[in-house]
Amino acid sequence: MSEVKNNKSLKPQSFIMDINFLEAPFFLFNQNTKAITVKDLKDNSDITDEVRHILNLHTNDNGEVKYFSWNDSKGLKREMMAISVFSLPRKFTMDVWYGIVGLYIKKSGPIMYNQENSAFDIQSDKLYFTLYELAKFMKLTTGGANIRKIKDAIRQLDATQYLSFSNGSIYDKKNEEYVKSKEKGLRLIVNYEFNSEKKKSSSKTNDNKCWVQLNSLVVDNIKHEFIKYLNAETYFTLPSGLTRGLYTYLEGNKYSTNGMLIYIKRNFDVLANKIPIEYRFNSDLKRRLKKPLQNLIKHDIISDYFYGDEDIINQKEHCIYFIFKGKKEELIKNLRQKYQKQLQIAMDNEFEDTSTTDFTMSIPKNLDVALIEIGFSEKVISQLYKDYDKWDIVKYIIWLQKQQFESNETIKNPAGLLMFALIGNVNLKIGYTDIIDFVDMEKEKLKQSKLSREEILQNAYEKYVNDEIDKFKNEDIGTYNIIYQNTLINIESQEEAQIAQLKLLEKNEGIEMPSLKLWEEFRNKKEDSKLFKKNFTNSIKVFRGIMTFEEFKVDFNK
């Protein structure tokens, strides 16, 4: 009999969740969140061939679908698609899912930890329950309306598939890898049954031992401790929807080596993709977060918060600080002291820039940001883009900058002055032809340099990858050699079959197969072949979280 570590177990009162559900957008929180039909997404030219292939296999064009794409903290691209023959799961369905997992642990517990297998001894992937039990666990009344809603939510969980693309978005702890979908997606509930029997003394029907079967990946992740401990009382007391979504996300991201976690900081886009929250402007996001954040403070989940583009530490940041201990004033003061040296350097540089005697023209790196800093609202900016050519707006921004540079007085309403100029009150052809010439020249340069810029980017990217690989080799030669040998073994194991298959294709199809030359080169040159170098580089990219070319391009352009 295997040795059991008795001091470690999942107790009946343990309320846990697979970390995937705290890190990826499995549920939509706004009833108005746009989940389009399968047919609509098929018509979208921006989706990848991989996504389009899956959609073409889906015969119900009227089912709901939602596609998510984001970069994680390592810069790796993550893609996920939820697709359903019905409507996609939203906030109530999320609550039912959390209730099912909570009840599953409660009715299975205590679940002991098996030291030999390094896993919890979970015996079954099925939960037997009554709908009344589940409703009570979720702190709901057991009336007919709630029971019907719970049934519908379970049907939704069974009918929805989640597919994971690119570098994967759903983690398999047992195999230590991200799941990448081919054709079939992951369903949270793979089977279910609603049973009922009639009382002898009454014609009324009582629900009796319904069951749901959980996806094996979820069960395996619980077995292998890819979980976070939550508080059922807190979760089901908080308002449903975005507040609960924020609570689970924060609990899933509270990591501290010394038990003294004071705050975590999250970029707006990262947060919006993980929860998920749809927004166009930062003000939309803040408006959506306001009430949930107040709820979290009220229930002592966080003590305070602030936005990095409002209370600036060392630079304006599009992010939010969630504070767990103390108030924002204390944290801001401490962070500013910490970055005092950097702030002083920045202030010195700013002073040097403003002390120049000549006005220097430059194209704004980000037109949206430039207009916001001048004082325009997001709504007005949208209208400006409809009414004026963006290059003309740039010309008038430079004109405004020149007025500010040359004026001895502060321009108190720069947005009003820029609008005054844009509507025809300032003719740049009279006295400001240098601005017109400069912008037109930069526009032409941009047009002419697209090809050469791609070459520059490609060269810069190759240097970046080579530098990262060299750094990896110097830092961890042991792991480097393991990946090196493993890559060689993997390619060698496929060599004969690939060459035979490609030769057969050439013979049958009567066309040359370029990849055959790569495999034949590998047969002769092994580690010096292009095929090996490409596969080895790709393996290290994944292991080290090295940016893809598209991700590098975004970072390079910042």
pLDDT in tens, 247-259: 999 988 886 545 5
Same-domain check for residues 318 and 218: no
Q: Which of 394, 418, 448 is the last residue of a domain?
A: 448
Strands (E), 173-252: 177-179, 189-193, 196-198, 205-207, 210-214, 227-230
According to the model, what pLDDT value does residue 287 have?
93
Residue 388 lies in a domain: yes
**Burial degree of 419 (CB within 10 A; 0-12, 13-18, 19+):** middle
Domain shared by 374 and 351, yes or no: no
pLDDT class of 3 with cuts at 50, 70, 90 = very low
The 10s digit of each residue's pLDDT in 38-57 is: 777 777 766 777 777 777 77
Domain membership flag for residue 361 = no
Of 189 and 342, which is predicted with more confidence?
A: 189
At which of 190, 206, 229 does a domain end? 229
Res 302: pLDDT: 95
Per the prediction, the chain carries an average pLDDT of 83
Question: Residue 418: is its pLDDT beyond 80?
Answer: yes
Dist. CA 405–CA 357, nearest whole Å: 10
Q: Which residues touch 341 (CB under 8 Å, ≥6 apart)?
A: none
The per-residue pLDDT for range 273-283, each reduced to its tens digit, is 888 888 888 89
Task: Determine the Cα–Cα distance for residues 540 and 536; give it in Å rounded to an integer.
Answer: 6
Return the pLDDT at 187: 92
Statement to judge: residues 210 and 120 lie in one domain: yes
CB 126 within 8 A of CB 203: no
Domain boundary among 397, 420, 448: 448
Residues 60-77: b if buried by 16+ CB within 10 A, e if exposed:
eeebbbbbbbbbeeeebb
Does 187 lie in the same domain as 162?
A: yes
Residue-level pLDDT at 153: 95
Q: At what angle do helices 340-354 and 328-338 cross, to 10 degrees?
A: 70
Q: What are phi and psi of 62, to 5 degrees?
A: -95, -5
Cβ proximity of 187 and 158 under 8 Å: yes
In a domain, 12, yes or no: yes
Q: How many domains does the chain have?
A: 4
> Is the predicted pLDDT of residue 175 greater than 70, yes or no?
yes
Closest by Cα among 474, 465, 471, 478 to 539: 465
pLDDT score of 181 more than 80: no
For the ranges 237-251, 436-450, 527-541, the one whose mean pLDDT is highest: 237-251
pLDDT confidence tier of residue 243, bands split at 50, 70 and 90: very high
More reliable by pLDDT, 46 or 244: 244
Q: Kindly state whether residues 253 and 311 are assigned to the same domain.
A: yes
Same domain, 72 and 219: yes
Specify which residues 81 forms β-bridges with. Answer: 67, 163
Confidence band of 549 (pLDDT split at 50, 70, 90):
confident
Q: Residue 157: what pLDDT?
A: 95
Q: How far apart are CA 483 and CA 478, in angstroms?
A: 9
pLDDT at residue 234 is higher than 90: yes
Interstrand relation of 15-18 and 189-193 (parallel, antiparallel or unpaired): unpaired
Using CA of residue 183, residue 185, residue 191, residue 194, what is the dihedral sign? negative
Any idea which residue has 């940041």 for tokens?
317
| Lowest mean per-residue pLDDT among 7-16, 254-263, 492-501 | 254-263
198 vs 161, residue with greater confidence: 161
Q: Are residues 47 and 141 in the same domain?
A: yes
CA distance 16 to 32: 29
458 pLDDT above the threshold of 80: no
pLDDT at 465: 84
Indicate the pLDDT class of residue 397, thresholds 50, 70 and 90: very high
Residue 360 lies in a domain: no
Whole domain around residue 158: which residue ranges? 4-229
Comparing 341 with 157, the larger pLDDT belongs to 157
Where residue 2 falls among pLDDT bands split at 50, 70, 90?
A: very low
Pairwise CA distance, residues 505 & 501, whole Å: 6
Average pLDDT over residues 417-431: 85
Asked if 462 and 519 touch (Cβ cutoff 8 Å), the reply is no
Give the mean model confidence (pLDDT) for residues 344-352: 59
CA dist., res. 377 & res. 481, Å (int): 55
Confidence label for 134 from pLDDT (cuts 50, 70 and 90): very high
Q: Structure tokens of 512?
A: 């040359």
Categorize the per-residue pLDDT at 204 as very low, low, confident or very high, splitting at 50, 70 and 90: very low
Identify the pLDDT of residue 413.
85
pLDDT at position 13 over 70: yes
Within this chain, do residues 82 and 195 fall inside the same structural domain, yes or no?
Answer: yes
pLDDT at 414: 87
Same domain, 35 and 143: yes
| Domain match, 404 and 464 both | no
Give 246's pLDDT tier (boundaries 50, 70, 90): very high
Name the region of 434 (left: φ>0; alpha: ψ -120 to 50; beta: rest). Answer: alpha
Residue 362 is assigned to a structural domain of this protein: no
Q: How far is CA 3 from the centre of its chain?
A: 40
- Residue keyed to tokens 């705050």: 263
Do residues 60 and 184 share a domain? yes
More confident residue, 418 or 454: 418
290 is a domain residue = yes
Residue 129 resides in a domain: yes
Least confident of 134-143, 352-361, 500-509, 527-536: 352-361
pLDDT for res 543: 80
Give the pLDDT band of residue 6 (cuts 50, 70, 90).
Answer: very low
Mean pLDDT of 402-423: 83
| pLDDT surpasses 50 at 299 | yes
Residue 502 has pLDDT above 70, yes or no: yes
Q: Has residue 201 got a pLDDT over 50?
A: no
List, as one string, the DSSP characters of 418-434: HHHIIIII--TTTT-HH
Q: How much is the pLDDT for 203?
A: 45
Q: What end-to-end distance do the CA atoms of the chain give, in Å?
A: 59
pLDDT band at 471 (very low <50, low <70, confident <90, very high): confident
Q: Are residues 425 and 497 in the same domain?
A: no
Q: Report the percent of the chain where pLDDT is more than 90.
A: 27
In a domain, 254, yes or no: yes
